[in-house]
Amino acid sequence: MRSLRRAFQALLITLLLSFAASAGAKTTATSSSDYTQTRYPIVLVHGLFGFDQLFGTIDYFYGITDGLRSGGATVYEVELSQLGDDVTRGNQLIAQLENLQAVYGYSKFNLIGHSQGGLDIRYAAAVRPDLVASVSTYGTPHTGSAVADGIATLAPTGSAQRALAVAFATALADLIDTFSGGNNPQNALAALSQLSTSGTAQFNAEFPAGMPTSPCGSGLAVVNGIRYYSSGGTSVLTNVLDPSDALLAAGSLFFSGTANDGLVGQCSSHWGTVLRDNYGWNHLDEVNQLLGLRGVFSSDPVAVYRDQANRLKGLGL
């Protein structure tokens, strides 16, 4: 198994270095207005296999960080374990929020999370509501992912397939962690369990703030003084030049024809106030990846995040 893991790492190093070489200059917004100047800092939280910056130059929220800052927002990117459950990742987030508070004196934060990061910020809001002004999630599997359920079925506990999947996932997570300057523990099995239908059901029972009142509806807009928002996409193959689309197309097969972004179902993305659940985005387009490639006629993710910051600004947050 150790030799297999090393082989995966050699392959993934090559892929990641190619990714970095092709990145080029980041998209940068040039507006100098105060359109995004929120009262509280914005903290961006990545999802599964995510990072803050790769190779010190490539933001996970590609172009979005710059777009928010160009309008006056104070923005921080955090890095959590690439693989882990939401209690582990949520506590890592809280520790970083506490550090920002101690260093800069901030009282609260506007948390924005993509994919699993949306679950992590919900955890932080439940455990430390004094630190959180708002929760905004993008493409978050609030009621689980059919992909996680499918992987668990295809690679059952104790099988060679499960061992192979864990080895590959851990090797990828370790490399991303290394190339983003982190030193985080990884737990592929905990991540798979957390993102399953049963795993999120248990999580939601413990942390229900903002839960929709109907299977595909909205939840309370404000709970314990914290505002909750959600958004998501329902497209998969959005740009022929984007190699990640093929992986998301494979993921979409688990959804039996229902609307999804390749990893998360349309209704699963609902939480709190649903701003929009059918953007022409796939799961990576939701954070303007891969390197800004998306559908020609789709909404600009940078503009969408800027609009959300402006919405929070208008509410005094």
Per-residue DSSP letters for 76-122? EE----SS--HHHHHHHHHHHHHHHHHHH----EEEEEETHHHHHHH
From the candidates 115, 134, 218, 244, give the one annotated as an active-site residue: 115
Q: Is 261 a catalytic residue?
A: yes
Q: Which of 301, 296, 271 is nearest to 286 (CA)?
A: 301
Pairing of the two strands 273-279 and 132-138:
unpaired
From the candidates 261, 268, 269, 277, give the one annotated as an active-site residue: 261
Burial class (CB in 10 A: 0-12, 13-18, 19+), 127: middle
Phi, psi of 196 (to 5 degrees): -75, 165
Whole-angstrom distance, CA of residue 31 vs CA of residue 34: 9
Give residue 2's pLDDT: 53
Give residue 37's pLDDT: 98
Give residue 22's pLDDT: 40
| Structural contact between residues 79 and 59, judged by C-beta atoms closer than 8 angstroms | no
Whole-angstrom distance, CA of residue 20 vs CA of residue 23: 5
Give residue 12's pLDDT: 47
Phi, psi of 232 (to 5 degrees): -165, 170
* pLDDT band, residue 17 (cuts 50/70/90): very low
From the candidates 46, 142, 270, 283, give the one annotated as an active-site residue: 283
Provide the CATH number for the domain around residue 233. 3.40.50.1820
Provide the domain count of the chain.
Answer: 1
Full domain range(s) for residue 227: 2-20+27-314
What pLDDT digit, counting tens, does each position of 66-80 carry? 999 999 999 999 999
Cis status, amide bond into 290, omega within 30 of 0: yes
Residue 257 has pLDDT above 70, yes or no: yes
Q: Is 283 a catalytic residue?
A: yes
Give residue 24's pLDDT: 40
Q: What is the mean pLDDT of residues 218-235?
A: 98
Q: Is 115 a catalytic residue?
A: yes
Q: Which of 133, 140, 126 is nearest to 47 (CA)?
A: 140
